[in-house]
Structure 1
Amino acid sequence: MKKILLLFILISSVSFGQKKLDKLLNKFNKNNVPYISVDSLASTKAILLDAREEKEFKVSHLEDAILVGFDHFEIAQTIAKLPTDKNAKIVVYCSLGIRSEIVADKLIKEGYTNVFNLYGGIFEWKNKDHQVIDTLGSNTEKVHTFNKDWSKWLKKGKKIY
């Protein structure tokens, strides 16, 4: 009986956390870019674009991700880093999925047809026990949390501000 109760509490807290994240993303996003879940991304091959700033990227990022930034994002520079096949699968991520939606939308407007926004961003990636790497390509527990307010969304790993 205790195991069943514990399982129910665990499932409820995960569901509640996801509903809170849904609410946050719906507040800031236009939902004009389809999401891809961490689980789906982990089992597929895609071009990864990091829409965070260089200081965040240097702390950690997803393996093989290309830094495209946000504050100084340049569509032409980004397109130059992508294959000419506009049907290539591209996943854009940031901390939670807000900045990445804006960058992904710009790619869609340039004719890219297979572009996704990583739901929950690098925080959700790390929360689901996936590895992130530092600038030397070594696994790290560190994740730049953008600021202290956003850091509450990172449940696993070491928070860096």
Structure 2
Amino acid sequence: MKVLHNTISNKILRNRMLVETERRTTISFYKYFYIDDPNSFRDTIYRKLNDLHVLGRIYIATEGINGQISVRKNNFNSFRTILYNSHPKLDKVRLNIALDNNVLSFWVLRIKVRASIVADGITDHSFNYLNVGHYLKAEEVNIMADNPDVLFVDMRNHYEYEIGHFKQALDIPSNTFREQLYMVVKMLQHDKNRHIVMYCTGGIRCEKASAWMLHNGFKNIYHVEGGIIGYTNRAKELGLPIKFIGKNFVFDERFGERITSEVIAHCHQCNSLCDSYTNCRNTHCHRLFIQCNNCAKKYYGCCNLLCKNKQLATTSYSV
């Protein structure tokens, strides 16, 4: 039987990606629906996508599917057909094409079965994740954004919010989605009748968050269809003003997609305007942080002098 997982080292796979000449499209997608046998579903879709040389990560659970992948442009239609035909609930599922689609994003295909497609920490068995808020398209988002009585809530981690967000959005200061779900209910206890618009990167977190808010007694809950990616693509297609400023953080090699020219974050070392994330070059640290080019040279790609000295003692580095 064919091996249904990767057996090649990440280093080799990354080098293969870097020399690949065929252009790729980066896509994200998700769908909440019931899967009675996630393991069997996983193995079937792995075989088909691996044969198409699809790269990326896909999570499968009884509650649905969540994927961020890259596919060769000449295989895009085949990929779409496979995905649409893999389950009746996935027929015509929304595919979010990356905003910054000219950068290589993944080098290995990983498809994993998990307890949930987005970690939420919810243990309340009466919670119905399919009872969601109202979807908003880009033109509706802009109308809401111009209304000072509407509250926008960012359902991403604080470091995602730092480099880009809707102008008036509320940041829920947390490191994980599961923390946010409980914090947002607590923070907005006195706003249960207010019109609240929730958003995230591609829609998966804000959709579940909208259901959680309704479950906790909030009345007028909306979420952005397709998240920031879906909003921006549609706004550009329709020639609408973009109400999101800065970069959209993404969880792959790119770290961010430029949406507007504004730089709203600062280098974590010198405080100059900068919105480029990197990982500390000290492999024992690997901290995610914002670093400008000058500090990258000064600290050799590290987050502090201690990490710099450790890195210099083990390897050479050039900017």
The normalised TM-score by structure 2 is: 0.35
Match of 1:52 among 145, 156, 166: 156
Query: Amino acid of the residue matched to residue 144 of structure 1?
Result: F
The structure with the largest alpha-carbon Rg is 2
Task: Judge conservation of contact 1:91–1:115 (CA < 8 Å) in 2.
Answer: yes
RMSD across aligned positions (CA): 3.5
More helix by share: 1
Task: Judge conservation of contact 2:248–2:259 (CA < 8 Å) in 1.
Answer: no
Task: Judge conservation of contact 2:164–2:249 (CA < 8 Å) in 1.
Answer: yes
CA shift in 2, pair 1:60/1:106, >3 Å? same
Task: Judge conservation of contact 1:95–1:146 (CA < 8 Å) in 2.
Answer: no
* 2: CA distance, partners of 1:85 / 1:60: 25
Match of 1:38 among 125, 138, 152: 138
Match of 1:86 among 192, 199, 207: 192
* 2: CA distance, partners of 1:47 / 1:95: 18
> Number of paired residues?
131
**Structure 2 alignment gaps of length 5 or more:** 1-89, 96-116, 118-128, 236-240, 262-275, 278-319
* 1: CA distance, partners of 2:195 / 2:179: 23
1:5-84 to 2 correspondence within 5 Å? 23-24=93-94, 30=130, 32-44=132-144, 45=147, 46-68=150-172, 70-75=177-182, 77-82=183-188, 84=190
CA shift in 2, pair 1:65/1:156, >3 Å? closer
* 1: CA distance, partners of 2:191 / 2:230: 29
Partner of 2:251: 146
Q: Secondary structure at the match of 1:72?
A: helix
Partner of 1:9: none
CA shift in 2, pair 1:148/1:123, >3 Å? farther
- Report the alpha carbon displacement of residue 56 of structure 1 after superposing the two structures with TM: 1.0
Query: Amino acid of the residue matched to residue 248 of structure 2?
Result: V
- Report the alpha carbon displacement of residue 61 of structure 1 after superposing the two structures with TM: 0.5
Task: Judge conservation of contact 2:153–2:169 (CA < 8 Å) in 1.
Answer: yes
Residues 1:130 and 2:231 aligned together: no
* 1: CA distance, partners of 2:131 / 2:242: 25
**Structure 1 alignment gaps of length 5 or more:** 1-19, 134-139
CA shift in 2, pair 1:88/1:95, >3 Å? same
Q: 1:107-136 deviations in whole A, cap 9, x for unaligned?
A: 111111100111121123333251433xxx
Match of 1:96 among 193, 197, 202: 202
Partner of 1:3: none
Q: In percent, how many aligned pairs have the same letter?
A: 24
* 2: CA distance, partners of 1:62 / 1:73: 18
Query: Amino acid of the residue matched to residue 105 of structure 1?
Result: A
Q: 1:77-134 deviations in whole A, cap 9, x for unaligned?
A: 323432624221011100111111111111111111100111121123333251433x
Q: Secondary structure at the match of 2:152?
A: strand
Partner of 1:121: 227
More strand by share: 2
CA shift in 2, pair 1:64/1:156, >3 Å? closer
Partner of 1:12: none
